[in-house]
Structures are given as C-alpha cells and as structure tokens.
Structure 1
Amino acid sequence: MDLRQRIEQLKARQGAAPAAPDTDERLKRLLDQGPRATKASDDAEVAARLGGTVPATGVVLVEHLMPLGHRHGRVPLTALLDAPLAVLADVAPAPDELLFLDTETTGLAGGTGTLAFLLGLARLEADGLRLRQYFLTGFGGEAAMLEHARPWLAEAGQLVTYNGKSFDVPLLVTRHRLRRLACPLDGKPHIDLLHPTRAAFASRWQDCRLQRAEVELLGLVREDDLPGWLVPQVWGDFVRTRRLGEVARVLEHNRLDVVSLAALLAEMARIHARPGYANADAQALARRQLKAGRPGQAIAHLDAVRDRLGTDGLLELARLHRREARWPAALAIWQPLAEAGVVEAMLALAKYREHVERDFAGALALCSVLVGRQPGEPEYRRREARLRARLAASEATSTGGPSVT
C-alpha cells in the first residue's frame, strides 16, 4: 500500500491516530546511519521535478514570489505594510525586516535526534513576498543548507513563527551547534504568533493550532492538505527509496504555513490594536497589554465591550481606571455593583470614600454593611474601627473639640 492509499484509508477513519508507531523508529534508524552520499544527478532530478535548483549537494531550493496583491484567504499581503506591528513587539519592526520561518522535521521531540529536512523562509521585497524552501535530499546536505540560508537568517530584524520559540528556533540553534556553525538566530527578536493568538482566542476556540487560525481569521480552508503528523514519514520514505511520492505535498504544506504567518501577523496586529475587533477575548487582551506596559490600551479593550462584560470583567476595568486615577470612570462601575451587593465593589468604594473623598461617614457606612455580611472577616472589623476613630476625630476637629463644663 503506498502512502496516498494509506492517507485515504486513515481519512476514512474517525479520530485517526497520529503517525504509525514505527515511523519515529524508522527515522531514528536512518539518522543513526549518519550522512550518506547523494549523487548530483539525483539532486538535479529531484530539483527538476519540484521546480527548484541545486545550490549545493544534498539541497534543493524551491522559490516562489507572491505579488503584494496576492490574497491569502481573505487577507491581502498589502495588509502587512500598514499593520500596527508595535502592539506585538517591543520595538516595531519595519515590514521588510521581518523573516517568516517554519520547518518540517523528522519528529516533534526536538533535541539532537531531530533534523529539519525542510526550511521555509519568506520576506517582503519590493515586488512581493519571496519564499525560499530548502529541501534536504539526504542527511549530508544539512550543513550546506544552513550555510546557504545564513544571509537571510542574519539579515532579519525580526523573526515571525508559530510556536517557533519553543520548537523551530531552538531546533535550528541546536543543529547549528552540532555542525559547529555560528547561529545567526541567537538573541534575534522574535514574534511567536502562537502566544498572541492564544491570548485572543483560547477561550473562544476549540484549539489554537495554525490551521484553526487560518480558518477563523484568514478565511482559508486547506484542500487536500497533507496531515502534519505524516510529514516525517514522507521524508523518511523518500530517503529510503529515493522516490518522491508525496514530497511535493510536503512542500505545499510548508508553503501554506509560511505564507499564513505573513497574513496572520497582519491580522493579529489589528486584533491586538483595535478594541472589539474579531470577537477576541477582551479581558485576556487587556491583561496582555497591561503586562506590556500599555494600560491605556488595556482599558480601551475592555471599554469596547463593556456592555458584554460580566462582574469580573467590570471589576477588572474598574481596577485599571483606579490605577490610572480615572475616578469618575471607576465610580461609574463601583456604585451600581456596590448597590447590587458585590463585595469587592463595596470595599473599593469604601476605600475611595476614605482616602480620596475623605468621606469617613460614607466609608464607615459601607464598611459596616461588609462587617454585617461577613462578621468573621478581621480586615473589615479593623477598617470599621479605624473609620470610627477617624470620624470621631474629624467631628471633634470640626466642632473645636469636646466642651468643658
């Protein structure tokens, strides 16, 4: 049974399992055999069939150029040109400094036993998005691939990946070290789109895989896409038999991954910069903006959906207003919640009355209600006692002190 037949068989099964249990073991045995000689004639034939060139023995390079008017799903590549990228990065990168990166590997475990046999890179140029795919025709081509990709890796001002901080980049750093090559990725600024995607949609979606984001945000549905968990087996079969089989589908899978990074970056920047956009989780976005030192943006995200916020969300918004000393806005939230008996709002309002308005009587009234509700709470009793003392002192001062007869 060839691989295509096997894929069709697996598609017919509901809940198909991940790659066959012997796939990793077969690839491990191939890796353990070490580099094998690759004939230049073999490389040339593979390159011809894949529409590529042979930059070095053991490496095939396939290039694509997508004009800026190209739409990936419903998102044009031109969206990158004015996307508010600063909201996703410590320093806003220029669009032509971005390098989109994705790998296809012999396994998902990482470490020294995992090889990136396909490296997909893309960057914006004057005439469009240029994509380079480096495909290894054998284990011996790895060093040449890394050297040939070095200029693009070194020139990049900002990496863009999906789960690349945890997988792709550490893997490439490891492979450089094993080959005794200096790695241009060390310390490179990096936008890993998995994290802003999770922040915005983990509470909305079943999962936050790249293909889920493609469907939900880009309007892109892949047709006849090779399942990612079958990719290692395709390359292992190619190395063993020298038959291309489904290799072209692996390259197409990788091409879609890389181009999706460009479209998704533009869309994700807008989601994080435009409050109320794309039904994102406003509370999660607000927390992310606050962590990044942008409290005003955090407030804007919550304000945009205020009519849909529950009690927790309203209290979070009120805390942000208090942090920025926006007292009227905070009061507009605390007062109705306090009247509804929300304890945190009553306590916050009591603190405001005491410390900002210096309305000790109003603060004491609220605190006494809290003591009545939770008589065992020592904080409320201490606060009530202090307020009684401050109120008495204030009244004594205002009347000139106690009379002496």
Structure 2
Amino acid sequence: MASFASKLARLPPMPGGAPAPAPAPAAAPAPAPVPENAAAALASKPTLDDLRDRIARILGKAAPSAPRPDPTRTELPFFVEHTSRGPLYVRRHRAPPAARVGRAPLVAARDAEPALLSLLALDPRLATCDARRALFIDTETTGLQGGTGTVAFLLGMSFYDEAEGAFVLEQALLRRLGEEAPILELLARRLDEASMIVTYNGKAFDMPLLRARCVMNRMPAPRELPHLDLVHVARRIHGHRLKSRTLAAIESEVLGRERVGDVGGADVVACYMHYLRTADEGALSGVVTHNEHDVLSMVALVGLYGEPMHGGLPGADLAGVAKTLRRAGELDRAAETAEAAVVRGGGALAKRTRGDIAKARGDKARALLDYEALAEEIDDPSVRLELAKLYEHHVKSFAAALALVERGTGEAEPAAEKRRARLRRKLEKRP
C-alpha cells in the first residue's frame, strides 16, 4: 500500500503555493541474509543432469521382464496343438482299465446308475443321462473368489473313451494371459459330446467362472447340461463324520488315498504367478498333479455313489444314502439301504435311520423295535419323543409313554405339558 507521504505528493498544489518537491525514490530493500543451512541445501539440490543420471542408473538396475515361454518346448507333459484360435497347450493321458483311486476303481463310473445318481443329487434331470458320456471338470484359477479378474489357467477334464475302454484325462494350460480362447473352445467341444457334467462345487464356482471367461472372450456360453455337483452328495452321505469336506479330505477318508506333498489352494495361485514372472514350468508340476488328483477322484466317487450297496461304503455312510433316498421319496429303496447300513455296523445312526424310514412307510412295528433299542443305547430326547408317540398311539401304553415324557423329550415346555396332561387323562379313563 502507498505511504501517506506519497499520497500527499500526488495532490495538486494549493492556489498561490509553490509545488511540493517530489519525494526521493525509496531505496530498494537490502536482501535478507541467507541462513547457512539453507545455503547448504541449495548447494546440494540436484541439477537436471543429476536427475537424468539417477533415472538412468535405476533403469539399468531394473530386473528384466520374464522371458516369454517358447511355444515349441515345454518341461511339463504337455504338447502344442495348433487351432484356429491359437496354440493350445494340452496333455492327454489314458488311465489303465484297472486304475484305482484308493480302493475305488475308475471303471465303475462307466456303469454308474444315473437314476440313483439323480436321487442322491435330488435332481431328476440326471436320471436320463448316460454315465458313459459324463464330463468331469475341475479348474485351477488365479483366485478363489471368482469375479471378472479371475482366470482359469488350468482346465482339467475326464471322459470315458469307448474305443480305448478307458477314462481319458485331459488338461489344458494357459501359458500366457489373454490366450484363453483355445482352452474355452476345447471345453465347448467336449461339452457338445457330453450327456452330463460332474464337478465338485462346480455349480457355485467352476462353471460360473468358465461362463464369465467365455463372455470376456466374446465366445458363446458353455452348453447347459444336467450337472451333478458331488459336493452336495458328499455332504449328505458323509457329513456325519467329516470335519473337512474338501475333495482331498473325501479322497483320504472315503476313497482311502492319502495325497503326499499336495499343493494347497493358496499355493496354487502363488505357483502360477511365479510361472508368469519367470517362465519356470517346474513351478507348475505340483499344480498339474493336484488337478489330476481332483479330476480322477471325482470319477472314482461317481463309481462309488452309483453303486453304493456294492461299493464298500461303511454302514454309517449307507445310512446317509438311505436318508437321502427317503428325502427323494424313494421309501422302499431307502428301507433296503437302511437295512444294509445296520448290517454293516452303522450303529445308532443306522438304527435311527431305519426306524425313521419305517415310520414314514407306516411300518410301526419295525420303528418300535428300532426306537426301543436306541432308547437303551443312547440318551437322546428325540428318540424318547418318537418312542413316546408310538407307545401312545400304536401300543396304547400310556404309562410307558408318560414315563418317557417325564424323562424329557426335547419339546418346548408348553408342548410337553400338553402331552403329559393328555396321557394322564387317558390313564385316568382306563378301568
């Protein structure tokens, strides 16, 4: 802001007065002294040439990018198949006719009964399928949550080859991101030849992911086929005894084969990322074996579930089969299976299942025998409730029914009190 003196100098002279002398120009302010530390900082500030030299040194030390895989050479047991959509890196292996996964022969899946599989899966569409044309599918992916950023880098499939009389394992590897089209085309070709799909948790993960990848690659969605998802069947049959229901756990506990040095799910992703960075195919060897085990274990399970009465399932597992058959409405077949479950040493679970199925069929005499035996073996309020109902309505033994209610039947107290009161009235009316 201008000083007061300069403002006065700009005023016009008063009448009769001499003009005011112009003020002397103000001296330029002296520069403030630069602190010693600031001067040192300015002196040490890098010049543009210094920055250029530093960037060049950084770039010179940067790690080289991973070499692109040589399409003509592979350390893995894959070969190159040239297709209209680009190179396909594929492996095909025919399992010997006598091949097994643990105690379960693979060839049994060829003769599995589709009608029974449909009952165990609670899916009527499977009943008319041809088990010989089942396509077993499993993927290894870059993530476990799905989504548009997740890619299936290894597609494992198996199918029965009539000409060879054996199951074929087929695996296709994505060696470079962005080259999915040949793999998806192979999947489409196999689906066109199939009658049904078999997966393990594939309804929730594998098939939605593969459909999404087809969309991302502007390819037709995979053909929709009847889908047997073994994870649901396994939970119904073995859920009473398995803490983990992963395919590896089912393979160990049900099929009797223990995986040695298996690659875990989280490590699968890390192995593939290492391969993308380094082109080290040795890092994928364990992943390929893991995928092979998954696919062939599904083949073995279909053979086991397709003939559960002859496949060596223990009694408790047969009880799970019987309960599922009852749920599907096949009471006669469920009763036959429950009987076999008891004979095979299924214990209390098998007896309870047989009793429940007998009651559902109206065979109250059989149900009474099973519930009486169970009441002696185990302390279970729900068993006492079923037995009390039979004593009251079938045997007309009101005193025995009341004694069971007094011991506790697991009912809510209002319902239990109502039952007690009714039984007492019936006892009072008796002569």
- Give your verdict on TM over 0.5: yes
The secondary structure found in structure 1 opposite 2:197 is strand
Match for residue 201 of structure 1 among 238, 241, 246? 238
Per the alignment, residue 290 of structure 2 pairs with 253
Cα drift, residue 211 of structure 1: 1.9
The amino acid across from 2:203 in the alignment is: K
**What SS does the aligned partner of 1:221 have?**
coil
Q: Deviations over 1:80-111 (max 9, x none)?
A: 23333432223153232100111010011112
- What are the superposed Cα offsets for residues 14-69 of structure 1, whole Å, 9 maximum, x if unpaired? xxxxxxxxxxxxxxxxxxxxxxxx97x832223x7533123343531211122323
Instruction: Establish whether residue 122 from structure 1 lines up as the match of residue 158 from structure 2.
Output: yes
2:252 pairs with 1:215: yes
Unaligned runs of at least 5 residues, structure 1: 1-37, 354-361, 393-405
Q: Which residue of 2 aligns with 1:43?
A: 71
Does structure 1 residue 83 correspond to structure 2 residue 123? no
Q: CA deviation at 1:116?
A: 0.2
Q: 1:92 to 1:220 in 2, by over 3 A?
A: farther
For 1:93, the equivalent position in structure 2 comes to 129
Aligned residue number for residue 176 of structure 1: 214
Matched, 1:148 2:194: no
Q: Does residue 62 of the first structure (1) align with residue 91 of the second (2)?
A: yes
Q: TM-score if structure 1 supplies the norm length?
A: 0.72
Distance 1:384 1:367, change over 3 A: farther
Give the secondary-structure state (helix, strand or coil) at the position aligned to 2:73. Answer: helix
Q: 1:174 to 1:384 in 2, by over 3 A?
A: farther
Offset of residue 305 of structure 1: 4.2
TM-score by length of 2: 0.68
CA gap of 1:313–1:282, structure 2 versus 1, over 3 A, is: same
- Deviation at residue 178 of structure 1 after TM alignment: 2.5
Counterpart code for 1:94? D
Greater mean alpha carbon deviation, residues 146-155 or residues 106-115? 146-155
More off after superposition, 153-162 vs 240-249? 240-249
Q: Could you give the per-residue CA deviations for residues 288-330 of structure 1, whole angstroms, max 9, x where no partner exists?
A: 2211222223323433344867777645533321221223323
Which one of the candidate residues 162, 166, 170 is aligned to 2:204?
A: 166
The Cα offsets for residues 101-143 of structure 1, whole Å up to 9 and x where unpaired, read as: 1101001111212110111111001211122211111122112
Q: Deviations over 1:145-189 (max 9, x none)?
A: 212321102332111112212211121122222233222243x21
Evaluate the alpha carbon distance shift between residue 132 and residue 367 of structure 1 in structure 2; reply closer, same or farther with a 3 A threshold: closer
Shift of 1:369: 5.3
For 2:77 and 2:194, locate their aligned partners in 1 and report how far apart those are by CA, in whole Å: 27
SS state at 1:245 partner: helix
The number of aligned residues is 342
- Equivalent residue for 2:389? 347
Residue 373 (structure 1) shift: 7.0
1:310–1:277 CA distance, 2 compared to 1 (3 A): closer
Runs of 5+ consecutive residues of structure 2 not aligned to the other structure:
1-66, 119-123, 378-382
1:135 aligns with 2:164: no
Which of 327, 330, 335 is residue 299 of structure 1 equivalent to?
Answer: 335
